[in-house]
Amino acid sequence: MTTLTSAQKARFRAQCGDTNTTPKIDDTTLQSLYDSAASDEPTTMVYLLRWLVGLAVDEIQFSQGDQQKSGNQHYEQLERLLAYWENKAGMTGGLMTIGRMTLELDADSDNQSQWDGTT
What is the average pLDDT across 73-79? Answer: 84
CA angle 87-20-12, nearest 5°? 35
| pLDDT over threshold 90, residue 55 | no
Distance CA 48, CA 82 (A): 9
Reported pTM: 0.68
Which residue ranges make up each domain of the chain? 6-89
Give me the residues paired with residue 103 across strands.
113
| pLDDT over threshold 90, residue 67 | no
pLDDT confidence of residue 92: 77
> What average pLDDT does the structure give for the chain?
80
Helix (H, G, I), strand (E, B) or coil at 65: coil
| pLDDT over threshold 80, residue 99 | no
pLDDT confidence of residue 75: 81
Distance CA 16, CA 46 (A): 9
**Each residue's pLDDT tens digit, 11-31:** 999 999 999 999 999 999 999
Q: Dihedral sign for Cα 35, 17, 41, 43, please.
A: positive
Sorting pLDDT into bands at 50, 70 and 90, what band is 103?
low
Helix (H, G, I), strand (E, B) or coil at 40: coil
Q: Considering only CA atoms, which of 79, 20, 84, 18 is closest in space to residue 53?
A: 79
